[in-house]
Amino acid sequence: MRLTQGAFSFLPDFTDDEIRAQIDYALAQGWACSVEYTTDPHPRNSYWEMWGAPMFDLKDAAGVMYELNACRKACPGQYIKVNAFDSTHGFETMRLSFIVDRPANEPGFDLVRHEGAGRTVQYTLHSYAANQPEGERY
Amino acid sequence: MDMKAEANAETPASIDLQSLIRETDVGEVLARLDAELVGLAPVKTRIREIAAFLVVERARRQMGLGASPPSLHMCFTGNPGTGKTTVALRMAEILHRLGYVRKANLVTVTRDDLVGQYIGHTAPKTKEVLKRAMGGVLFIDEAYYLYRPENERDYGQEAIEILLQVMENQRDDLVVILAGYRDRMDTFFSSNPGMSSRIAHHIDFPDFSADELYAIAELMLGQMDYVLDPGAIDALAEYIALRRVEPHFANARSIRNALDRARLRQANRIFFEHPVATRDTLQTLVAADIRASRLFAKSRAARHILERMALGVANADGAPDEWLCP
């Protein structure tokens, strides 16, 4: 099951040139890019591991691509995303975030029904990948 | 074989290099370089060669001939004040116009910006600088400070290694320009042979001649909206002749400092002589503004002592102290 989080996730995977073009757009807006990775694709997992600090004062996508490639080498077959942070007063938040790398095989999610008091049912998601300990997931 | 014939059919039979040059408006950049920088013939020649090379490379690509991106890392060596930094600042724009770098972006750094203060601090610091410079030009001023042979635990070596790695692997993302005084850069390269071989262009900045220094002075004055009166023109020419043989002479930088001092004296003179200043008095430097320099007093004193020595009434020690110190 294909993970659809962040921008462009319903499109086919980006090529490196397309990723570079998106990063260039973000840099042209004055946003600072960062690279993050994870093995836990749960939609409520907001805190992915940071690959280095966000990169401020960049003028060209090459710097982000350099870190992205380093991250790909160190974490092959994991989810990797690129974030673009807008530090303008009033925004001070992510303006763009998209997944650039994903595992070859994404097992998807289990819908867990939890029956509570008075036969009320609470629904939650559980990633099949998370059944394995970290490091053996993909 | 068929595919090759097809590829040939699609490429043009000939390419007008002149129109390629017009497209990139390199001509205008080179003309401006000629107009705004005095002298520096070897530097301008090399920049023209690089420009021609990049245009030819572009033509080759259009013809379907093999074109690997050339290595454009450079090293500028020369005495103080010969224009190394000035040219490096221009280089980003020139290479951008030529389409070699994607951004006309220049990051100027020195040792402090690359080398960390404790173990593990240097690599991230150097990488951050490199990432900021990617797509443009990284200018490392006084590059020989990176390597300190007297301290074997110095972190400069680590910065050099990362620099070398990126210079080699990200060649199409980054142009590195090193600058420094000639003798110190020679020592730097002899202890880092890898660095020397990765830099394709070693450009030596010659010292300026007296005429070139005068032209530079005129250019600087023009930019600052000052004019010289006829007396001041002679005084300045004499001043340059005297200043050139001084120790610690720093070419164009010395000239700029001399002009700044002349402006101070002019301001002082105007203040006392002209209660009402006209445009003319405000922009004119007169001979007295320049001749008040210590150098003239010194040469007068030297002449005086030489005369006295000729008469046998003084020896070389008879000189007053003040004109012995630089």
Return the HEC string of B223-273: HCCCEECHHHHHHHHHHHHHHHCCCCCCHHHHHHHHHHHHHHHHHHHHHHH
pLDDT for A117 equals 93
The residue of chain B nearest to residue A59, with distances taken between CA atoms, is B132
- Of the listed ranges A46-60, A93-107, B50-64, the least confidently predicted one is B50-64
Mean pLDDT of B214-237: 92
Q: Which residues pair with A126 in a beta bridge?
A: A110
Prediction ipTM score: 0.83
Residues B295, B292: Cα–Cα separation, whole Å: 8
pLDDT for A81 equals 96
pLDDT at residue B97 is higher than 60: yes
pLDDT by residue (tens digit) across B1-49? 444 444 444 667 777 777 777 776 777 878 888 888 888 888 888 888 8
Is the distance from CB of B46 to CB of B95 less than 8 angstroms?
no
pLDDT for B5 equals 46
- How many angstroms separate the CA of residue B104 from the nearest CA in chain A? 9
pLDDT at residue A74 is higher than 70: yes
B108 inside 8 A of chain A by CB: no
Mean pLDDT of A85-107: 94
Cβ-Cβ pairs closer than 8 A, A with B, add up to 41
Contacts of B136 in chain A (CB under 8 A): 59-60
Tokens of B23: 């497209």
Is the distance from CB of B221 to CB of B259 less than 8 angstroms?
yes
Compute CA A29 distance to the chain's CA centroid, rounded to the nearest angstrom: 21
pLDDT for B299 equals 79
- How many angstroms separate the CA of residue A59 from the nearest CA in chain B? 7
pLDDT at residue B62 is higher than 60: yes
Contacts of B134 in chain A (CB under 8 A): 58-60, 62-63, 66
Contacts of A58 in chain B (CB under 8 A): 131-132, 134
pLDDT at residue B315 is higher than 70: no
H or E element, residue B215: helix B210-223
pLDDT at residue B321 is higher than 50: no
Query: Across all residues in chain B, what is the average pLDDT?
Result: 85
Q: Which residue has the higher pLDDT, B275 or A80?
A: A80
DSSP class of residue A76 equals T
Q: Do A59 and B105 touch (CB under 8 A)?
A: yes
pLDDT by residue (tens digit) across B167-183? 988 888 899 999 999 99
Total-model pTM: 0.80
